[in-house]
Amino acid sequence: MGLQEQKQHFSVNLLDWYMINRRDLPWRRHNNPYFTWVSEIMLQQTRVDTVIPYFNRFIGNFPTVQALAEAPEEDVLKNWEGLGYYSRARNLQAAARQVMELHGGEMPQDKQAVFALKGVGPYTAGAILSIAFNQPQPAVDGNVMRVLSRYFLIDEDIMKGSTRVLMEELAGELIPEGRARDFNQALMELGALVCTPKAPHCLTCPVMEQCSGRIAGRELTLPVKTKAKPPRPEQRLVAIVEGRGDHRGQVLVRQRPDTGLLARMWELPHVLAAPAAASKKAAPLADEPAMALLAGSLWAEGFAARPEGLATHAEHVFSHIVWSLQVYKCTEQDQSSELSLIAAEARAAYDAQAATKEGTDSSAVSPESETTHSSQQGTPNAQNINSASLNDEEMLAPSDGSDLALSTPILTGKGDGLIYRWIGPEDMDKMAFPNIFLKLISSYFAGAYDQVND
């Protein structure tokens, strides 16, 4: 069989298989361009079963482009909370505003206009145009490149731009006339359900008979893909500061900077303990110097708090950073307490401990704004909390945080200038937190840290 016959075999058999085996997904029930767009953004780096409830809730709250464009950003982020890669939500709303301003609220059908929308790349543009408008545009993502690499025995590195161009040209040639919508979804479905990364189900594949990769015994070695640089490990100390007096029943949180990682999302105060050597796991810090350093960092921001003991260990993964978190329960203190002495001794305490660890650079300790899952073994009473992976492309316009209708005033940190607030459980529904901090704070309010290691 020649190449043309192989292509024909692929297209015909794949479509026949898809029409029988396609999944019933909520965004497939309508050819609504907005629904297609939202689903494709959500599906980036995220599994279908995870996306379904988020999609249904998101569309329920923002049923149209106009509704999304006009919504407060805090509401959009809250509806995205836990899904991760928060830049997707911000870009989606920014693009919705573009559609309102430039296209009268209607999704454009021109390729260049779709591609010009914020957060829309070649794959997403192709998916929108083909699925929503049935235009013969290729939609090539990692799943599609894996399928094509195996079926046509393509040895080119799929991380290279030239390989993507090759794949897009090939995928475009495979689309049957008038069937772009079904074919592109069929190709995605095959990669998701059958031609999987580590254990492809070749015996149930509708195109196995002419799969060059399977015939050559290469189905497990394709596609060719260079390994990404491993994320940088960091050890971070986190404070759950329990309020007293007027702040009883509340905890201290802060809002991240207006730009950069997790821009403007809320978090527990934390500080970098020590950078780890390249490709090595960040080592835990002994509790005594860790608590001293944490108290010192809070004092520098204008908050007096006494660390009471270790509450939990957690780990959180970004695309380029792995946070190993030591989480300490702390108690708010009067500003006139002896914590000023603890703050003054914090650096010395840490330096003394760090000097005993081979390969540790104690001079590299500093709080920083560049922040980022499997659990670590804690001490007997410590719990372990995991969170989903997040991305690091989090950019947003400045704000003073005054858009939140919370009962507590804004407090400005003396050192980093960030916004701090005391919050209670009733405030959790009004604020957007990265998943790891959402879990930690929710666990606190549920009483999980009532007993800590003194």
SS (H, E, C) 197-218: CCCCCHHHCCCHHHCHHHHCCC
Distance (Å, whole) CA 394 – CA 390: 10
Structure tokens at 187: 């190709």
Residues 6+ apart with CB under 8 A from 23: 48, 189, 193
Q: Which one-letter DSSP state was computed for residue 428?
A: G
Phi, psi of 451 (to 5 degrees): -110, 120
Burial track 146-172 (b if 16+ CB lie within 10 A, e otherwise): bbbbbbbbbeeebeeeebbebbbebbe
Burial class (CB in 10 A: 0-12, 13-18, 19+), 326: buried
Structure tokens at 251: 């905890």
Active site residue 209: no
Distance (Å, whole) CA 134 – CA 150: 26
Choosing from 5, 40, 70, 338, which is the catalytic residue?
A: 40
Region label for 328, one of left (φ > 0), alpha (ψ between -120 and 50) or beta (otherwise): beta
Phi, psi of 236 (to 5 degrees): -130, 145
Rg (CA), the chain: 25
Residues catalogued as catalytic: 40
